[in-house]
Amino acid sequence: MEGGAFMTSIPAGKNARKRLFRMNVPLLIMFFPVALYFLIFKYTPMLGLVLAFKQYYLAEGILGSPWVGLRNFELLFSNVQMLNIIRNTLVLSLLKIAVSFPFPILLAILLNELRKMWFKRTVQTLLYMPHFLNWVIVGGMVVTLFSIESGLINQLLDRWFGFRYAFLYNEASWIAVLLGSGIWKEAGFSAIIYLAAMSAIDPGLYESASMDGANKFRQIWHITLPGIRPTIIILLILSMESVMDLSFDQFYMLQNPVVSSVAEVIPTYIYKMGIQGGQFSITTAMGLFSSLVGLVLIVSANWIARKFNQSLW
């Protein structure tokens, strides 16, 4: 009997798997283009990472170019300019996370507290719109606003205080403009995720807290923020991936030779030296190094989040 029961359970299990597969066929068909995209444009190009260990010559191709081992990495870390570029990338990335990351949270909290729906929708639309503008447009707007001669900001400073300031040619003010433009462009759209997380919080918690005498600040601190804490931690972990992979468009549009000592970062260097200068091996080594650093940061952030039961895996 036991043997017969065991034998009859096998076809049942196979039939269940077949039924489950048939039920998921539409989902698999929808997923196929996504998998194909990642296979072609994300995983296949990884084969080119072998250039980091070769001295690439266009005439000889990837396979025919001589193997040099870790020499490209030795050149990478022995060049003062490259070390400065790596430092700029790390410092500016951490500044963007420290300064820009809290803004969408604050913005979502403020929008969540609005009670006039027409006003809330109008504000949301105005805040979301910059996200859909290309950095070429945004960069042109920033340069136009902060230009010394024709910039609106300097014209107002000249009229009110009698002086002009080179915002885009001073290192400290350039960094401030960089961070401010990034916040203006992305904070509104990022707030959507937090608003969605807030909508899942039980309204009864706010009513109970109000009956107990908690003001708005206390409700936000003890109910809203703990309610969206998993979302905050997940997005913080994901933001670690971009520490060594800053937005090329933003930096390329806003940087200039005067502030190159702080404005030159890994993506712009790879473009200038790799694509324009043809130094494919050294820039591939730099790209591989930045990817490895990003991987270590993501794994470390996830390990810390696991201590609070909020990890991604």
Please check the confidence at residue 260 and state whether its pLDDT lies above 70.
Answer: yes
Top-confidence residue, 307 or 178: 178
Please check the confidence at residue 278 and state whether its pLDDT lies above 70.
Answer: yes
Rounded Cα gap, residues 55 and 71, in angstroms = 9
Average pLDDT rounded to a whole number, residues 214-234: 88
- Which fold would CATH assign to domain 54-306? MetI-like fold (1.10.3720)
Average pLDDT rounded to a whole number, residues 138-146: 90
Give pLDDT, residue 29. Answer: 92
Q: How confident is the model at residue 8 (pLDDT cuts 50, 70, 90)?
A: very low
Please check the confidence at residue 148 and state whether its pLDDT lies above 60.
Answer: yes
Please check the confidence at residue 313 and state whether its pLDDT lies above 80.
Answer: no
Taking only the tens place, the pLDDT of each residue in 48-77 is 889 899 998 888 888 888 999 889 888 888
Give pLDDT, residue 3. Answer: 46
Give pLDDT, residue 12. Answer: 54
Rounded Cα gap, residues 80 and 86, in angstroms = 10
- Segment of 10-14, 213-217, 261-265, 301-305 carrying the highest mean pLDDT: 261-265
Give pLDDT, residue 7. Answer: 44
- Extract long-range pairs of 29-38: CB within 8 Å, 24+ residues apart: none
Helices and strands in the chain: count of H runs, count of E runs = 17, 0
Give residue limits of the domains in the chain: 1-51, 54-306
Write the single-letter amino acid at 34. V
